[in-house]
Chain A
Amino acid sequence: MAGKNNPWGGGSGDEPSGEDGGDGGGPRNPWLPGGGEPGKRRSASIEDIFKSRGPEGPRRAGGGGGPTFRLPERPGGKSWLPVIAGGIALVWVAVSSVHFVQPGEQAIVTWFGGKYYGTLDSGTNFTAPWPVHMVEKLNVSQVRLEEVPGTKTEKLILTGDQNLVDLSYLIRWNISDLALYKYQLSDPQNALLEIGEAAMRAAVARQKLDAVLTGAGRAEIEQDVRMAMQARLDAYRSGISVQGIEINKVDPPGPVEEAFKDVSSAQQDADAAINRSRAVAQQTLARAQGDAREFNDIYEEYKLAPEVTRRRLYYETMEQILSKTDKTIVESGNVTSYLPLPELKRRAQAAPAQQQGN
């Protein structure tokens, strides 16, 4: 076959032709004497097959082979290796001895991770390269928040009058001295929380429940806790500065919450009762004033002409009354009249014209 004569032909051929080239084409093929073993031959032919598989094969082989081929080529210059090593070292020195400390950050520098060398402020700083100087950056001016306790858990604290209150608070703090912060306390954050907790409980225990709940004692507690914490932390030389304490939430404990709510609703009830009676009182007063005024006005008139006014009032009233009622006029004197009351009633129900006729 053509594949036996031409090595490239073998390459472009398909599987069976490749196997044939491996088996029979030994003496004719210039490639074969080099790889004497049949195994190698086979592998070579398999490579060929891979190369021949469409346009993808050669391309992939070229892409993969590129770097692996280049590497052996470069050491041919022989002087490259020290140069590269030197370059890496230089870059290393440059990178590890220049430090850009961001605003708000500080960095602590130690000799070989041991002895303290100094603190770097924000800006561009130079040190000896790692590992001679080891640098550790930390944000110092950023105010950190610790919430105690975490959300949704109840924390009951005893007040001075032996009541319990469910309280949560925030500690705002930052690092005031990085070296002290790093070297003084084994676990500064935990220390902060524990000190805060102790101070908070002591401060709440100094207050009565109502003062804690209403907020009257809240500012005092916050102030107390801050001062107590800072005093403690300073005593430890912890390098921590407490910026502030904020009481988030003060609630009565869950089981007695209803009773506490009832107190406020009692206050509402009391206010409502007072409002209602105030309204009634106002009505009473207004009524009295109105009546008095009316009487006074009429009395003024009456004083001017007592007899006439009296008569006038009398007649006016009678007129109004009698015009709206049934009337039976009985002659006075000796006549004792029997009044048939049921009849009267019936007549009252009948037409008024009839009565007039009678």
Chain B
Amino acid sequence: MNSLLQNYKALAIIGIVVLVTLFSSVKIVPETHQAVVIRTGQPVRVINQFRPDQPYGSTGAGIAPRIPFVEEVRMIDRRVLDIDMERTQVLSNDQQRLQVDAYARYRIIDPVKLVEKAGTELQFESQLLPILTSVLRQELGRRPFTALINAERGSAMTNITKSLDEQARIYGVQVLDVRIKAADLPEGRPLDAAFTRMETDREEEAARIRAAGQRDAQILQAEASAEAARIYADAYGKDPKFYDFYRAMQSYKQTFLKGEGQSSMVLSDDSEYFRQFKGNP
């Protein structure tokens, strides 16, 4: 009984050892990563290195052999990675400040170089970040403020991408592109000044609109008055004398009938009204 158990134990131990060796002599490299095999501190080969024309399924990903305990496999990302810059203040060549938030996208095309120069992706990022910031500052600082926020960004960005790419190649990295995610006016005085400018701009517009309304109103009334005058002239001009008489009659009615206060009249008996009163023909 005891010997049998011991036999089993030995078998189990052997089995475990075999399994561990098997597992440690095999590494599964996913499609998302490339693996650098390092033997005693020396990179010896790369599994699943990025090649642009390789479709997925025919890459080097999958089960890869390695010598256990001797070879170390370091996984390096094979995908497009991004590096996000902190907000930086950029001074344009006309001394205006702008808060710029940028990102770069890159791909590790030579993982051996990356492992040699930087070690890991994270370390590489911390080395690239200051380069990105200074390249950005330099390139944008050469432009006027209006160009920074305008569509002209395009040429600036290609320049930045190019010079960043040059520096990143040392690490075996290809910079695909650099983009400005946000360009804002810095908080405080520049932002307040912009707000004030916007505000006064609107105030001016409001005043202009109101004045224009007033003007249009006046013009409308003047036109109407002119038209009315024309109508009156047309009508009354036919017989000015009769108009005089007619208007006088209207005026009397208005004054004595509709006017306020009581009127008393002292009439001479030789007035026109009393012509018949006297009885003379």
- Chain B residues with CB below 8 A from A115, complex form: 31, 57, 59, 61-63
Q: Which of A110, A114, A256 contacts B195 (CB 8 A)?
A: A256
When the two chains form their complex, are residues B263 and A186 in contact, meaning their CB atoms are under 8 A apart? no
When the two chains form their complex, are residues B274 and A329 in contact, meaning their CB atoms are under 8 A apart? yes
Identify which of residues 303-344 in chain A touch chain B, using a CB-to-CB cut-off of 8 Å: 306, 310, 313-315, 317-318, 320-322, 324-332, 339, 344
When the two chains form their complex, are residues B31 and A183 in contact, meaning their CB atoms are under 8 A apart? yes
Of B127-135, B163-171, B238-246, the stretch lying at the interface with chain A is B238-246
- Chain A residues with CB below 8 A from B56, complex form: 116, 179-180, 183
When the two chains form their complex, are residues A191 and B80 in contact, meaning their CB atoms are under 8 A apart? yes
Q: Which of B30, B151, B194, B262 contacts A164 (CB 8 A)?
A: B194
Asked, given contacts A206-B151, A271-B213, whether A278 binds B220 with beta carbons under 8 Å apart, the answer is yes
When the two chains form their complex, are residues B31 and A267 in contact, meaning their CB atoms are under 8 A apart? no
Identify which of residues 171-225 in chain A touch chain B, using a CB-to-CB cut-off of 8 Å: 179-180, 182-187, 190-191, 194-195, 197-198, 201-202, 205-206, 209
**Is A236 on the interface with B (CB-CB < 8 A)?**
yes
**Is B223 on the interface with A (CB-CB < 8 A)?**
yes
Asked, given contacts A274-B213, A325-B265, whether A202 binds B151 with beta carbons under 8 Å apart, the answer is yes
Number of interface residues of B (CB under 8 A): 90
| Chain B 85-107: CB-based contact to A (< 8 A → 1; otherwise 0) | 00000000000000000010100
Interchain nearest-CB distance for A300 vs B (Å):
10
- Chain B residues with CB below 8 A from A331, complex form: 268-269
Interchain nearest-CB distance for B1 vs A (Å):
18
Interchain nearest-CB distance for B267 vs A (Å):
5
**Once the chains are docked, how many angstroms separate the CA of A112 from the CA of B185?**
51
**Is B205 on the interface with A (CB-CB < 8 A)?**
yes
- Chain B residues with CB below 8 A from A238, complex form: 80
When the two chains form their complex, are residues A163 and B198 in contact, meaning their CB atoms are under 8 A apart? yes
- Chain B residues with CB below 8 A from A198, complex form: 103, 179-181
Q: Which of A236, A270, A321, A345 contacts B264 (CB 8 A)?
A: A345
**Is A47 on the interface with B (CB-CB < 8 A)?**
no
When the two chains form their complex, are residues A162 and B149 in contact, meaning their CB atoms are under 8 A apart? yes
**Once the chains are docked, how many angstroms separate the CA of A293 from the CA of B231?**
9
**Is A145 on the interface with B (CB-CB < 8 A)?**
no
When the two chains form their complex, are residues B228 and A274 in contact, meaning their CB atoms are under 8 A apart? no
When the two chains form their complex, are residues A114 and B31 in contact, meaning their CB atoms are under 8 A apart? yes
**Once the chains are docked, how many angstroms separate the CA of A186 from the CA of B82?**
8
Number of interface residues of A (CB under 8 A): 97
- Chain B residues with CB below 8 A from A314, complex form: 245, 249, 272
Q: Which of B150, B217, B235, B242 contacts A273 (CB 8 A)?
A: B217
**Is A117 on the interface with B (CB-CB < 8 A)?**
yes
- Chain A residues with CB below 8 A from B213, complex form: 266, 269-274
**Is B138 on the interface with A (CB-CB < 8 A)?**
no
When the two chains form their complex, are residues B221 and A280 in contact, meaning their CB atoms are under 8 A apart? yes
- Chain A residues with CB below 8 A from B146, complex form: 162
Closest residue of A by beta carbon distance from B78: A183
Asked, given contacts A183-B56, A194-B103, A310-B245, whether A327 binds B77 with beta carbons under 8 Å apart, the answer is no
When the two chains form their complex, are residues B266 and A325 in contact, meaning their CB atoms are under 8 A apart? no
When the two chains form their complex, are residues B151 and A205 in contact, meaning their CB atoms are under 8 A apart? yes
**Is B252 on the interface with A (CB-CB < 8 A)?**
yes
**Is A249 on the interface with B (CB-CB < 8 A)?**
no
Of A16-24, A54-62, A282-290, the stretch lying at the interface with chain B is A282-290
**Once the chains are docked, how many angstroms separate the CA of A59 from the CA of B222?**
108
**Is A295 on the interface with B (CB-CB < 8 A)?**
yes
When the two chains form their complex, are residues B30 and A195 in contact, meaning their CB atoms are under 8 A apart? no
Closest residue of B by beta carbon distance from A160: B150
Q: Which DSSP category, helix, strand, loop or mixed, fits chain A's interface?
A: helix
**Once the chains are docked, how many angstroms separate the CA of A288 from the CA of B269?**
38
When the two chains form their complex, are residues A284 and B31 in contact, meaning their CB atoms are under 8 A apart? no
Question: Which of B197, B214, B228, B267 has the most chain A CB atoms inside 10 A of its CB?
Answer: B228
Interchain nearest-CB distance for A302 vs B (Å):
6
When the two chains form their complex, are residues A277 and B151 in contact, meaning their CB atoms are under 8 A apart? no
Q: Which of A116, A156, A282, A317 contacts B249 (CB 8 A)?
A: A317
**Once the chains are docked, how many angstroms separate the CA of A228 from the CA of B181?**
13
- Chain A residues with CB below 8 A from B210, complex form: 266, 269-270, 273
- Chain B residues with CB below 8 A from A197, complex form: 181-182
When the two chains form their complex, are residues B269 and A320 in contact, meaning their CB atoms are under 8 A apart? no
**Is B142 on the interface with A (CB-CB < 8 A)?**
no
**Is B153 on the interface with A (CB-CB < 8 A)?**
yes
**Is A292 on the interface with B (CB-CB < 8 A)?**
yes
When the two chains form their complex, are residues B216 and A270 in contact, meaning their CB atoms are under 8 A apart? yes
Closest residue of A by beta carbon distance from B267: A329
**Once the chains are docked, how many angstroms separate the CA of A322 from the CA of B253?**
10
Q: Which of A164, A187, A288, A332 contacts B228 (CB 8 A)?
A: A288
**Is A158 on the interface with B (CB-CB < 8 A)?**
yes
Of A4-12, A65-73, A98-106, A257-265, the stretch lying at the interface with chain B is A257-265
Listed from nearest, the 10 A-B pairs whose CB atoms lie closest are A270-B213, A281-B224, A115-B62, A288-B228, A277-B217, A266-B206, A292-B235, A259-B202, A326-B264, A332-B270
Residues of chain B whose beta carbon lies under 8 Å from any beta carbon of chain A: 28-32, 56-57, 59, 61-63, 77-82, 84, 103, 105, 145-146, 149-151, 153, 176-177, 179-185, 194-195, 197-199, 201-203, 205-207, 209-210, 212-214, 216-218, 220-221, 223-225, 227-229, 231-232, 234-236, 238-239, 242-243, 245-246, 249, 252-253, 256-257, 262-270, 272-274
Contacts A183-B79, A325-B256 known; 10 new A-B pairs at CB < 8 A: A115-B31, A162-B145, A183-B32, A191-B80, A273-B210, A274-B220, A277-B216, A321-B253, A325-B265, A330-B267
Q: List 25 A-B contacts (CB under 8 A).
A: A112-B28, A115-B62, A164-B185, A186-B81, A186-B82, A197-B181, A201-B182, A235-B176, A253-B195, A263-B202, A270-B212, A270-B216, A274-B213, A274-B220, A281-B225, A284-B228, A287-B228, A295-B235, A295-B243, A299-B242, A302-B239, A306-B242, A310-B245, A321-B252, A326-B264
